[in-house]
């Protein structure tokens, strides 16, 4: 059988599901077996995604490895998946962090291990699905599928205030996503009304061409874009919609936080790039100024608030707000470097913040406390841990040579071309980031060992090999992408130019209360 | 007067209204049941009046009325049996005291 | 009355015969539930088969009083299925409270015959009779646990208000007869079409008739503000009955709406559509809001069923274009099936928990279920997610369907769509609350172990499978639904 | 001797007079039904009311229905009701309040309803004929067994169901309470 | 070996050393001891010094492939983002060569010195790893041929500074200082990065040579903006006012670090950058003035503070600031060569001075307060003599390095018509001489105030430390004569002429011949005099013990002078409190900033999140309210239905009437 015939993407997507089912039938008491099985399936999916990466042809801007099966022909709804550069990168990111997170859950998770692994694998299915779905309906389904396992992961294995956090997370996300559902249906219907056929009404590629040629009527664009925007903005999360994030992060178990920060937040940005902007360019142009302002607020505001966080995880959570602010900024200046920077920033934030949360988890395992005030002088006691953490801290602060820098710089460059003052405000985050990150690092690692830590005695061991195993890949990638960002940039070049050709030169819709 | 449909209809309306009042106002389950019978009869009167004064309906009226009569009977049966059943449990026929379930 | 007529009404007749047979078996072998159940379930199978056979070709009998079309078949099969599952779920619950299964089955079958009559009626009087035949057994079932104060209380509330609304409904029918001079559905619609077409303004009498009819059906589908009976009746009834009550009479009433409003009063759709939109908005909003603050899962599900009435009404609200009309009806019918599967499942789980007497349906009962009864907990989660409308479940696709219709209709219906999704988001809160209790809370004290009989298990599995299948492969049902909808709107 | 075709002195046609009398009786008794304190009297008043109604039926030219009315209601239902009353009679009952606390709003609502109906009836043109059409029993029978045969059968089923369920609910099997 | 390889090696070797130390350093140290841990780092620096020297020689001599205008090597395309591409590459011309000489030489010596200085520290291997990393970053900084790559190195040296200043992280003060250094630098970097963006947006390239070549094509405003923004970066890195606050605190780091990073090399990066981009500045005269102003102000500000500091390293730190001020002033007045000249000279003598101070501190057991020293000249002679040489050099006494470089700056300033620059510079020259000899006096001369417990154990440092001192003393003496002998075009001028030619021509400057018996002579005389005055004053106040010259310290007179008038008292307090800059920052960024941050957080919890929760709460309580409608009484329900019916009827009547 020909290699091209292998439904590679479907395999990547559903191998974890198979894993979940297998795990479901394993005896509850065989913890080791359950762990191993989950890890193996995650690794298989990871390996397959690497095949995708290798087989992907960056010079071809089209969606590759497409699989199309009719699903609900009445409405032209298909099972249609495919990957362009962006999808491929994000899929690989997902599969990578999935197995890392599962590995990282080995020690912390003892309660209801089986349910945990099942939820986690299903979560992975949803995440990958979102990135490869080329049918809006399918996309929405995967989008919602992500919600449930995350809800359980936070709600069951989370911290003391987990239920509040998880319900907030779900409801908040639902409000956005359900409106998005209405928007998706409205879009499809508009297409059907215009062309007289349901065929392709949910097919992204068809819709994109439609948007490029005929274009959706302006009020549909406005409504649909706003709905999409709300859904994605909540997920990103953008400035006024961000308050679910700190709670969710603080309460979630380590691996949960990792997936949340590294992948879930990317869903929103991905949605913007893939759907919101190309489908409704005029509306996007219309609201771009507003979104840019919100992004700037997020960048500065998030950083300042992060400065005074008493909780280790909360601090990183707010730093996520800042970094994702860069992403949305980069997207909505509609400028080549900006968009590439945004995508790069997505990946980097995934790696870096994921790493940070893993590290925090490592220490939480020993201290069962995240109150920064109770730490201090850790560097003397756990030098390797401190060094590794410092590495991620500086990566997060955008130190050149590490991956964080290139993304931010490209966004700045784009922003500057858009408007120097925007760039100036955004650039100020270089100071902020340094401030809150180093302030945190200083409080936790330098000085004399705090009484609390001294009280832990021998529990306070340095990082263990298996933990290191979860960190090292991330660190390596951070360095590699820092020195050779081209690896990613070449992949996404096609996506970027495709999106920009959609949106550039489109004149914004004139609103009586706007512009 | 007895030759005008309106008279009968208004009469029926009044009867219906009285029935409604009884249903809303009485406390005793059985009185409420009786009120419902009044309302049904009001409807019957309407039907017959239509049957009598609208040629298109002529015979139908009576037929329908008969059937409605039977339905009313069936309802009464069920109703009374339920009343008896609950009376066994609650030892009172006063409906407004059946308010265990609320909110 | 000819043989042709008889063969046409065969399914309906069969249902009644089966009811009779059940009673006979009970008289032959008294005090044993197995035979009666066997007869009932077997009979139901026969009924279903007959319904499908007869339904292959649209026919009429009793010169148009009885009419079989695709809608009839679809609904009949649906109702038979629901009744069958109810019969699977109920026995454990009933016998543990020593309530007789045969009588239960018989009454249930009578109710079935009633609702089948509705779905097949081509005559307003038959429609009314069908309605009565559907609800009267309903009252009895509600009070079936006759030694339980709550059950009888629910029953009498249901009965009193029910017959009150029946009287109102009947008055409305009378006025329509007076206006149109016929009881046949086509007759009515043609007459009304003539009136509407005529330059003369619609008479107040017609308006009043519409008002009374709308009130009547709004009560039967438990639309706000005519929903008051629902929570009490549902909470009081024996749980399996609640499951049945929340589905068959509701969907039956919707069938009534299809026959009466869409067919007979079709020409006046412009008038009643407005009211429907308002009702829909009120219903789903109030249903969800009140459900938020319920501590008894049963009562919560009662309010949620009110909310779902609202969602189903969206299907009728999407009336602006003929395309959206079809779309809406299809959505409504699909929703009916989906709703049946998931709601029945949810109540089945509650029933399973309450198998022993004295177990309340308070949230506390569900605490830690995830540990004690993983299967039940997972199934419950599935049903609740479906009720929330999370893909890939039946509930999601149904919701999407009606919303799509509303979006197509645009205008006020479009706004209704937005209201609907906001409601859905709010609803997630109380559905997920149960999940929270099942998986994230530990039980107080030592809860009684749960025993699930084979029948019960089958019932649960069936509804679970349906819930998933209707979500993942809607293609299976869509053509059927489409034909059914087309049967109503030519 | 020949009866004058109008009542002396008030000079109204006989059936008008009858109509008035009957309707007054009916409405009056109906009001008693919903207002009397002693529920047994209510039952009796209901019989009277239905009797008057039967009279009206005759007047309207539906003697068969009138007969059925007398049989079913005065015969069956009322008796049933009276039995029920006996069964559920509590010593205290008559002493208790007759009306719900919301009697006044109920009255208002009912009044508005009546007025509404009356107004609509008057405002509507029912294109009715001026004289009631008499229905001969023979025609009615044929209609009933052709056009309305299905409803007729269904009603029997309905009654059957009602009876079965009714018996189940009402019958007292001695079980330890 | 071809030059390209050498150029690459210069930078790569230290990196290799760093990686090696990170991986094996710790084990080597635990297994084989200190020497093993430092062997590789030393070796790589030595080699890279060798390579640097060869390359520098080639570049200066203009040998092929360098020629007059230098030679570039490019390695790989770093960022390929559509039109925007950055290729990492190195570029070597005579300017680079000068920097290479300074950096590698001093770097090498500091490494050697550290072997002795750090020999008692457990973090020995770590220290060398950091040093290597720094060398790598610094060398990349001077070699890079692309603005963005410069920026990368720019940040990396910042990182190294952070790591090394905070080397003793268990000291709270060290941790704070390192953090402060990094953040303050970031402030400047923001300007720099924006400048880079501005350059690209206008020229679509970031290649150094290309940009400098095309800069003329831009309009004046843009050029000025670019210059200003680039200046921000320079000011941050070179600790010029107002971003000077980090440098004194940076003295928390080990002394070799202070010598290498905070005196000889990293802090010069700003000077180098401005010199490197001289064509840009040359076309933005207003900005040049700004540069000059910043430089002069910093020079006098720092000098004034240095007067009263008692921590030996802080005195040197402030003198570094003030010398950097000189360099900026030079850049501002267009005396680029002079700036570089002073940069090199200062690199050597300030490096020397710091290493000396380190040796002193070592001798008196980690005591840095000069009030607890004195009379050390006999006990640690090598340190003493080398430090004396350094002080003379910095004071601008001929014929040592400082004299030539400083005089060239002052002379240029005067000739280019920046009289105010000259005047201040002139004054500062005197102040410098004064506080340097105050330092010498307090430390080496007079009676010993050393803690008696330590007194007997004071001894000269080991050879590892003294040899570098001597080696550094040599250039301190000779570099001026060698490079800057002003008759005709000095050697350095001839080297750098091609580099600064475009700038000079753009600024429209013409080199006047040097006139010893003319203006220049007068100026030289003047500055030498003022330096002498400074020294003499210092002797008068703090004593002298120099062969024939003998005098006692006169503290009373110092106090008398300070107390003489309100003005003097104020000046004294101002100097002591560093003109309250730290307090100002503390107020602005710690107190007020903290308030703002907390305020925002409150806003976040109570307003934004509050709204979210409020909506949820409202919905739920609405449900709670509505459920009361369900009274449980049938009649109430019935009434509800009846009312509903009435409303419905009316509604329909209305609707129908509307048709």
Taking the Cβ of residue A487 and every Cβ of chain E, the question of whether any pair is shorter than 8 Å is answered with no
Average pLDDT over residues A404-421: 92
Phi first, then psi: what are they for E141, rounded to 5°? -60, -45
Q: Dmax over Cα atoms in chain E, in whole Å?
A: 124
| Nearest chain C residue (CA) to A169 | C429
**What digits encode the pLDDT tens for the residues E433-481?**
989 988 888 888 888 888 888 888 888 888 888 888 888 888 888 888 8
**Is A10 a residue whose pLDDT tops 50?**
yes
Chain A CB contacts of C417 under 8 Å are 182, 185
Give the separation between CA C135 and CA C120, rounded to whole angstroms. 17
Q: For residue C60, give how far its alpha carbon lies from the nearest alpha carbon of chain B (Å).
A: 20
Indicate yes or no: CB of B101 within 8 angstroms of CB of C136.
Answer: no
Rounded average pLDDT over A18-28:
92
Which pLDDT does position C179 carry in this prediction?
Answer: 87
Name which of A244, A49, A247, A265 is nearest A146 in CA terms: A265
State CA E495 to chain mean position distance. Answer: 25
Nearest CB to C126; choose among D124, D150, D165: D150
Nearest beta carbon to residue A446 from set E76, E169, E594: E169
The answer to whether the bond into E242 is cis (omega within 30° of 0) is yes
Task: Output the average pLDDT for chain C.
Answer: 91
Q: What is the pLDDT of residues C373-413, one digit of tens each?
A: 888 999 999 999 999 999 889 999 999 999 999 999 988 99
**CB contact B94 to E (< 8 Å):** no
Which of E76, E81, E148 is closest, CB to CB, to A336? E81
* Interface E:D, ≥3 CB–CB pairs < 8 Å: yes
Residues of A whose CB is below 8 A from E609: 243
Does B2 touch chain E if contact means CB atoms closer than 8 Å? no
Q: Does the pLDDT of residue B71 top 80, yes or no?
A: yes
Name the residue of chain A whose CA is nearest to C410's CA.
Answer: A186
Reading phi first (left if > 0) and then psi (alpha if -120 to 50, else beta), residue E515 is in beta
3 state SS for A216-272: CCHHHHHHHHHHHHHHHHHHCCCHHHCCHHHHHHHHCCHHHHHHHHHHHHHHHHHHH
Q: Does any CB of chain D come closer than 8 Å to the CB of residue E631?
A: no
For A354-363, how does the pLDDT look when each residue is reduced to its tens digit (9 = 90+)?
Answer: 999 999 999 9
Closest approach of C250 to chain E, Cα-based (Å): 18
Which of E656, E170, A45 lies closest to C214 in space, CA to CA? E656
* pLDDT winner (highest mean) among A196-205, B54-63, E392-401: A196-205
Q: What are phi and psi of A26, to 5 degrees?
A: -80, 150
Say what the pLDDT of residue D92 is: 53
pLDDT band at B90 (very low <50, low <70, confident <90, very high): confident
- Going by C-alpha positions, the residue among A25, A50, A49 that lies closest to residue A38 is A25
Q: Residue C325: name the closest of C392, C258, C416, C241 by CA.
A: C258
Report chain C's terminal Cα–Cα distance, integer Å. 28
Query: How far apart are alpha carbons A375 and E322 in whole angstroms?
Result: 40
Q: Label each residue of E76-108 as H, E or C.
A: EEEEEECCEEEEEEEEECHHHHHHHHHHHHHHH
A190-194, A253-257, A378-382, C286-290: least confidently modelled range: A378-382
Q: Residue D117: which of B13, B74, B81 has the nearest Cβ?
A: B13
Chain A's closest residue to E171, CA to CA, is: A447
Contact indicator for B28, B94 with CB cutoff of 8 Å? yes
Give pLDDT < 70 ranges for chain C: 1, 199-201, 490
- Give the integer Cα–Cα distance in Å for D138 and D146: 12
Count how many pairs of residues, chain D against chain E, have C-beta atoms within 8 Å. 22
Task: Check CB contact of B53 with chain E, cutoff 8 Å.
Answer: no
Q: Which site among E625, E637, E647 would you substitute to test the C interface, given the most C Cβ atoms closer than 10 Å to its Cβ?
A: E637
Contact C438, C377 (CB under 8 A): yes
pLDDT at D9 over 50: yes
Tens of pLDDT, residues A441-492 = 999 998 888 888 888 888 888 888 888 889 999 999 999 999 999 999 999 9
Q: Is the dihedral of CA E597, E601, E604, E610 positive or negative?
A: negative
Q: Which residues contact E56 (CB under 8 A, 6 or more apart)?
A: E97, E98, E100, E101
Q: Is the CB of B32 inside 8 Å of chain E's CB atoms? A: yes
Please give the Cα distance from C142 to D168 (Å, whole number): 13
**Cross-chain Cβ contact B99/E628 below 8 Å:** no
Residue D96's pLDDT band (boundaries 50, 70, 90)?
low
E632 contacts B100? CB cut-off 8 A: yes
| DSSP states of E434-446 | HHHHHHHHHHHSS
Task: Please judge whether B98 and E632 are an interchain contact, meaning their C-beta atoms are less than 8 angstroms apart.
Answer: yes
In percent, the amount of chain E with pLDDT more than 70 equals: 98
Task: Using a threshold of 3 CB pairs under 8 A, tell whether chains B and A touch.
Answer: no
Q: Answer yes or no: do A188 and C425 touch at CB < 8 A.
A: no
Interface contact D133, partner C, CB < 8 A: no
Confidence at residue D172, expressed as pLDDT on a 0 to 100 scale: 73
pLDDT at E487: 67
State how far the alpha carbon of A450 is from the alpha carbons of A119, A456, E163, in Å. 38, 10, 21
Q: List, in sequence order, every residue forming a beta bridge with D13; answer none if it has no partner.
A: D6
> Do the bridges between strand E549-551 and strand E544-546 make them parallel or antiparallel, or are there none, so unpaired?
antiparallel
Residues 204-243 of chain A with CB under 8 A from chain E are 240, 242-243
Q: Please say whether the beta carbons of E354 and E253 come within 8 A.
A: no
C389 three-state secondary structure:
coil
C-alpha C198/C-alpha C205 separation (Å) is 16
Task: State residue D177's pLDDT score.
Answer: 42
Confidence category of residue A385, pLDDT binned at 50, 70, 90: very high
Q: Backbone phi, then psi, for A109, in 5-degree steps? A: -90, 115
**pLDDT at res. E403:** 86
Structural contact between residues C123 and C183, judged by C-beta atoms closer than 8 angstroms: yes
Note the Cα C280 to chain centre separation in Å.
16
What is the C-alpha separation between A147 and A451, in angstroms, rounded? 41
Least Cα distance to A302 among A398, A433, A424 occurs for A433
Alpha helices in E485-518 (DSSP H): 491-507
Question: Is D157's CB within 8 Å of C110's CB?
Answer: yes
- Copy the structure tokens of residue A304: 């300042």
- Residue of D6, D88, D154 best to disrupt the B interface, most CBs of B under 10 A: D88
Mean pLDDT on E634-638 = 90
> Using CA atoms, how far apart are residues E25 and E18, in angstroms rounded to an integer?
9
Quick one: tokens of B77?
């049966």
Question: Which among C143, C154, C171 has the least Cβ separation from residue B101?
Answer: C154
**Which region, left, alpha or beta, applies to residue A472 given φ > 0 means left and ψ of -120 to 50 means alpha?**
alpha
**Alpha carbons A105 and A123: distance in angstroms, whole number:** 14
Over its C-alpha atoms, chain C yields an Rg (Å, rounded) of 21
Q: Cα–Cα distance between C81 and C346 in angstroms, integer?
A: 16
Three-state DSSP class for residue C449: coil
Interface membership of B90 toward C (CB under 8 Å): yes
**CA trace torsion E411, E417, E421, E424 (10° rounding):** 80
How far off is chain E from D99, nearest CA to CA, in Å?
10
DSSP class of residue A28? T
Peptide bond before residue C225 is cis, with ω within 30 degrees of 0 = yes
**Nearest neighbour of B103 by CB, restricted to E628, E633, E635:** E628
Residues of chain B neighbouring D16 (CB-CB closer than 8 A): 1-2
Of the spans C37-41, D149-153, E493-497, which averages the highest pLDDT?
C37-41
pLDDT band at D176 (very low <50, low <70, confident <90, very high): very low
Q: Write down the pLDDT at residue E418.
A: 86
In this prediction, residues A324-353 reach a mean pLDDT of: 93
pLDDT digits (tens, 9 = 90+) for B9-35: 999 999 999 999 999 998 888 889 999
Taking alpha carbons only, the member of A334, A491, A482, A318 closest to residue A408 is A482
Under 8 Å CB pairs connecting chains B and D tally to 261
* Number of Cβ atoms within 10 Å of the Cβ of C150: 18
Residue A161 predicted with pLDDT over 60: yes
**pLDDT score of E515:** 67
Gap between the Cα atoms of A177 and A132, Å rounded: 18
Check CB contact of B49 with chain D, cutoff 8 Å: yes
d(CA E258, CA E114): 12
Q: Is B20 helix (H, G, I), strand (E, B) or coil?
A: helix
Question: Tens digit of pLDDT for each residue in E369-385?
Answer: 888 888 888 888 888 88
Query: Which chains reach chain B with 3 or more Cβ–Cβ distances below 8 angstroms?
Result: C, D, E
Q: Is A182:A272 a contact under the CB 8 Å cutoff?
A: no
Cβ atoms within 10 A of the Cβ of E232, count?
20
In this complex, do B95 and C160 lie within 8 Å of one another by their Cβ atoms? yes
Neighbours of A57 (CB within 10 A): 10
State how far Cα E361 lies from the chain centre: 23
Distance (Å, whole) CA D150 – CA C60 = 12
What six digits make up the tokens of E140?
């990349």
pLDDT at A34: 93
What average pLDDT is seen over chain A? 91
Q: Where are the alpha helices (DSSP H) in A446-485?
A: 451-456, 465-483
Cβ partners under 8 Å of residue C226, min gap 6: C165, C215, C218, C219, E640, E641, E644
H or E element at residue E72: strand E71-81
């Amino acid at each position: 059988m020909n290699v091209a015939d292998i439904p590679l993407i479907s395999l990547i997507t559903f191998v974890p599901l198979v894993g979940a089912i297998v795990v479901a039938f394993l005896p509850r008491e065989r913890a080791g077996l359950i762990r191993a099985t989950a890890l193996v399936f995650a690794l298989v999916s990871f390996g397959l995604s690497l095949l995708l990466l290798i087989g992907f042809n960056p010079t071809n801007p089209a969606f590759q490895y497409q699989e199309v099966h009719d699903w609900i022909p009445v409405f032209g709804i298909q099972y249609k998946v495919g990957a362009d550069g962006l999808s491929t990168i994000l899929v690989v990111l997902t599969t990578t962090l999935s197995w890392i997170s599962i590995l990282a859950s080995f020690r912390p998770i003892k309660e209801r291990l089986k349910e945990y692994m099942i939820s986690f694998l299903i979560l992975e299915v949803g995440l990958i699905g979102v990135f490869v779905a080329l049918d809006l309906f399918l996309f929405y389904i995967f989008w919602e599928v992500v919600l449930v396992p995350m809800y359980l992961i936070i709600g069951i294995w989370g911290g003391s205030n987990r239920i509040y956090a998880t319900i907030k997370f779900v409801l908040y996300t639902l409000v956005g996503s359900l409106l998005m559902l209405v928007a998706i249906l409205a879009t499809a219907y508009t297409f059907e009304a215009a062309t007289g056929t349901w065929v392709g009404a949910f097919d992204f590629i068809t819709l994109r061409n439609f948007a490029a040629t005929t274009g959706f009527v302006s009020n549909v664009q406005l409504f649909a874009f706003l709905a999409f925007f709300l859904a994605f903005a909540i997920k990103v999360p953008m400035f006024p919609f961000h308050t679910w994030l700190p709670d969710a992060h603080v309460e979630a178990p380590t691996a949960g936080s990792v997936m949340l920060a590294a992948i879930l937040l990317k869903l929103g940005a991905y949605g913007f790039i893939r759907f919101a902007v190309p489908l409704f360019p005029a509306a996007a142009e219309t609201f771009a100024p507003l979104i840019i302002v919100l992004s700037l607020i997020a960048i500065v505001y998030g950083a300042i608030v992060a400065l005074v966080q008493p909780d280790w995880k909360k601090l990183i959570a707010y730093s996520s707000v800042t970094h994702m602010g860069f992403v949305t900024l980069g997207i909505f200046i509609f400028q080549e470097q900006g968009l590439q920077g945004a995508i790069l920033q997505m990946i980097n934030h995934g790696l870096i913040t994921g790493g940070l949360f893993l590290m925090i988890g490592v220490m939480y395992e020993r201290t069962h406390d995240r109150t920064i005030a109770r730490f201090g002088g850790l560097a003397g006691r756990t030098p390797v841990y401190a060094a590794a953490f410092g590495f991620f801290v500086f990566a997060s602060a955008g130190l050149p040579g590490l991956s964080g820098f290139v993304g931010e710089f490209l966004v700045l460059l784009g922003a500057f071309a858009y408007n120097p003052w925007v760039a100036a405000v955004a650039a100020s985050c270089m100071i902020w980031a340094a401030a809150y990150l180093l302030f945190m690092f200083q409080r936790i690692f330098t000085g004399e060992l705090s009484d609390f830590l001294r009280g832990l005695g021998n529990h306070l061991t340095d990082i263990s090999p298996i933990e290191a195993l979860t960190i090292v890949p991330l660190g390596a990638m951070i360095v590699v992408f820092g020195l050779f960002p081209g690896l990613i940039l070449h992949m996404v070049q096609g996506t970027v130019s495709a999106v920009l050709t959609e949106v550039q030169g489109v004149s914004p819709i004139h609103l009586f209360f706007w512009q | 007067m007895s030759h005008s449909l309106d008279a009968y209809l208004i009469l029926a309306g009044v009867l219906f209204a009285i029935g409604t009042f009884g249903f809303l106002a009485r406390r005793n389950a059985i009185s409420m049941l009786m009120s419902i019978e009044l309302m049904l009869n009001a409807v019957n009167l309407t039907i017959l009046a239509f049957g009598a004064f609208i040629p298109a309906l002529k015979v139908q009226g009576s037929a329908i009325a008969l059937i409605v009569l039977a339905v009313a009977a069936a309802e009464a049966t069920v109703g009374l049996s339920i009343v008896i059943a609950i009376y066994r449990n609650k030892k009172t026929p006063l409906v407004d005291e059946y308010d265990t379930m609320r909110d | 009355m000819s043989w042709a007529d008889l063969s046409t009404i065969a399914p309906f007749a069969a249902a009644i015969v089966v009811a009779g047979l059940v009673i006979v078996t009970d008289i032959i072998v008294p005090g044993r539930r197995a035979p009666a159940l066997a007869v009932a379930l077997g009979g139901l199978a026969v009924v279903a088969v007959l319904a499908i056979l007869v339904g292959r070709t649209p026919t009429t009998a009793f010169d148009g009083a009885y009419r079989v079309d695709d809608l009839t078949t679809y609904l009949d099969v649906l109702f038979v299925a629901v009744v069958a599952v109810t019969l699977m779920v109920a026995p454990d619950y009933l016998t543990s409270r020593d309530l007789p299964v045969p009588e239960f089955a018989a009454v249930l079958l009578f109710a079935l015959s009633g609702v089948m009559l509705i779905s097949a009626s081509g005559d307003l009087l038959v429609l009314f009779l069908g309605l009565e035949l559907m609800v009267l057994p309903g009252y009895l079932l509600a009070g079936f646990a006759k030694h339980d104060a709550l059950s009888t209380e629910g029953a009498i509330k249901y009965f009193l208000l029910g017959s009150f609304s029946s009287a109102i409904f009947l008055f409305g029918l009378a006025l329509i007869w007076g206006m149109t001079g016929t009881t046949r559905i086509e007759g009515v619609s043609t007459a009304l079409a003539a009136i509407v077409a005529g330059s003369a303004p619609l008479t107040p009498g017609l308006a009043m008739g519409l008002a009374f009819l709308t009130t009547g059906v709004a009560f039967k589908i438990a639309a706000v503000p005519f929903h008051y009976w629902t929570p009490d009746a549902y909470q009081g009834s024996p749980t399996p009955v609640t499951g049945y009550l929340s589905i068959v009479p509701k969907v039956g009433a919707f069938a009534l709406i299809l026959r009466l409003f869409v067919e007979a009063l079709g020409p006046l759709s412009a008038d009643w559509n407005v009211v429907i939109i308002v009702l829909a908005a009120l219903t789903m909003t109030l249903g969800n809001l009140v459900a938020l603050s319920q501590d008894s899962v049963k009562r919560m599900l009662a309010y949620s069923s009110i909310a779902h009435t609202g969602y189903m009404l969206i299907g009728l609200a999407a009336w602006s274009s003929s395309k959206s009309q079809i779309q809406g009806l299809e959505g409504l019918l699909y929703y009916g099936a989906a709703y049946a599967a998931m709601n029945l499942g949810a109540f089945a789980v509650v029933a399973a928990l309450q198998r022993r007497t004295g177990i309340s349906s308070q949230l506390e009962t569900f605490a830690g279920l995830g540990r004690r009864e993983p299967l039940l907990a997972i199934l419950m989660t599935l049903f609740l997610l479906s009720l929330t409308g999370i893909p890939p479940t039946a509930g999601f696709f149904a919701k999407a369907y009606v919303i799509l219709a509303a979006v197509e209709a645009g205008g006020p219906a479009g706004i209704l769509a937005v209201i609907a999704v906001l409601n859905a988001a709010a609803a997630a809160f109380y559905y997920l609350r149960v999940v929270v209790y099942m998986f994230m809370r530990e039980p107080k004290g030592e809860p009684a172990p749960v025993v699930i009989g084979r029948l019960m298990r089958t019932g649960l599995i069936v509804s679970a499978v349906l819930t998933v299948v209707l979500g993942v492969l809607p293609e299976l049902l869509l053509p059927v639904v489409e034909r059914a909808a087309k049967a109503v709107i030519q | 001797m020949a009866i004058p075709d109008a009542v002396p002195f008030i000079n109204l046609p006989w059936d008008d007079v009858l109509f008035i009398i009957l309707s007054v009786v009916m409405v009056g008794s109906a009001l008693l039904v919903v207002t009397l304190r002693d529920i047994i009297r209510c039952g009796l008043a209901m019989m009277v009311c239905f009797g008057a109604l039967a009279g009206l039926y005759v007047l309207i030219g539906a003697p068969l229905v009138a007969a059925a009315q007398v049989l079913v209601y005065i015969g069956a239902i009322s008796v049933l009701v009276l039995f029920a009353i006996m069964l559920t009679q509590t010593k205290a009952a008559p002493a208790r309040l007759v009306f719900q606390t919301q009697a006044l709003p109920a009255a208002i609502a009912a009044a508005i309803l009546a007025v509404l109906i009356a107004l609509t009836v008057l405002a509507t043109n029912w294109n009715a004929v001026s004289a009631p059409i008499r229905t001969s029993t023979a025609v009615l029978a044929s209609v009933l067994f052709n056009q309305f045969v299905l409803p007729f059968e269904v009603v029997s089923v309905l009654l059957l169901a009602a009876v079965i369920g009714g018996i189940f609910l009402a019958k007292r099997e001695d079980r330890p309470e | 070996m071809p030059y390209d390889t050498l150029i690459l090696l210069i930078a790569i070797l230290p990196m290799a050393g760093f990686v090696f130390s990170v991986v094996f350093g710790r084990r080597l140290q635990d297994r084989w001891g200190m020497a093993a841990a430092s062997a590789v780092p030393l070796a790589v620096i030595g080699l890279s010094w060798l390579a640097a020297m060869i390359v520098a020689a080639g570049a200066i001599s203009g040998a092929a492939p360098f020629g007059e205008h230098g030679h570039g090597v490019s390695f790989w395309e770093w960022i390929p983002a559509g039109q925007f591409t950055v290729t990492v590459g190195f570029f070597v011309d005579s300017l680079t060569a000068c920097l290479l000489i300074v950096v590698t030489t001093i770097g090498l010596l500091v490494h050697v010195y550290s072997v002795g200085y750090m020999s008692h520290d457990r973090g020995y291997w770590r220290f060398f790893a950091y040093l290597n990393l720094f060398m790598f970053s610094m060398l990349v900084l001077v070699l890079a041929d692309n603005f963005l790559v410069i920026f990368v190195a720019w940040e990396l040296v910042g990182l190294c500074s952070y790591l090394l200043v905070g080397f003793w992280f268990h000291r709270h003060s060290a941790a704070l200082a390192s953090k402060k250094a990094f953040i303050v630098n970031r402030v400047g970097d923001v300007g720099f990065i924006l400048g880079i963006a501005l350059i690209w947006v206008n020229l679509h390239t970031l290649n150094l040579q290309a940009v400098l070549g095309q800069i003329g094509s831009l309009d004046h405003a843009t050029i000025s903006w670019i210059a200003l923004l680039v200046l921000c970066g320079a000011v941050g890195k070179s600790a010029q006012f107002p971003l000077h606050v980090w440098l004194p605190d940076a003295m928390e780091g080990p002394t070799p670090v202070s010598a290498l990073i905070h005196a000889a090399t990293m802090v010069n990066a700003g000077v180098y950058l401005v010199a490197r981009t001289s064509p840009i500045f040359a076309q933005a005269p207003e900005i040049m003035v700004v540069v000059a102003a910043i430089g002069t102000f910093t020079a006098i500000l720092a000098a004034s503070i240095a007067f009263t500091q008692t921590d030996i390293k802080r005195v040197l730190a402030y003198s570094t600031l003030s010398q950097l001020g000189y360099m900026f002033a030079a850049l501002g007045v267009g005396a680029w060569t002079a700036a570089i000249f002073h940069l090199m000279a200062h690199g050597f003598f300030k490096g020397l001075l710091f290493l000396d101070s380190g040796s002193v501190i070592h001798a008196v057991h980690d005591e840095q307060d000069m009030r607890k020293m004195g009379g050390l000249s006999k006990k640690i002679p090598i340190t003493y003599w080398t430090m004396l040489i350094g002080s003379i050099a910095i004071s601008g006494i001929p014929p040592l390095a400082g004299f030539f470089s400083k005089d060239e700056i002052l002379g240029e300033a005067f000739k280019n018509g920046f009289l105010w620059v000259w005047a201040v510079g002139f004054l500062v020259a005197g102040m410098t001489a004064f506080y340097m000899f105050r330092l010498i006096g307090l430390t080496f001369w007079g009676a010993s105030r050393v803690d008696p417990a330590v007194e007997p154990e004071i001894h000269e440092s080991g050879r590892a430390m003294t040899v570098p001192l001597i080696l550094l003393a040599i250039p301190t003496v000779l570099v001026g004569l060698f490079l800057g002998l002003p008759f005709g075009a000095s050697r350095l001028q001839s080297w750098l002429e091609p580099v600064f030619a475009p700038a000079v021509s753009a600024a429209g400057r013409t080199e006047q011949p040097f006139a010893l018996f003319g203006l220049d002579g007068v100026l030289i005389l003047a500055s030498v005099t003022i330096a002498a005055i400074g020294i003499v004053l210092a002797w008068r106040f703090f004593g002298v013990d120099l062969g024939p010259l003998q005098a006692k310290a006169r503290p009373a007179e110092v106090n008398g002078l300070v107390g003489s008038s309100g003005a003097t008292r104020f000046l004294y307090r101002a100097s002591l409190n560093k003109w309250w800059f730290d307090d100002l920052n503390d107020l602005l960024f710690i107190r007020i900033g903290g308030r703002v941050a907390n305020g925002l957080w409150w806003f976040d919890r109570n307003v934004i999140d509050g709204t979210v929760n409020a909506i949820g709460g409202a919905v739920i309580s609405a449900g709670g309210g509505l459920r009361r409608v369900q009274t449980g009484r049938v009649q109430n329900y019935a009434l509800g239905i009846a009312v509903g019916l009435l409303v419905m009827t009316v509604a329909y009547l209305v609707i129908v009437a509307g048709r």
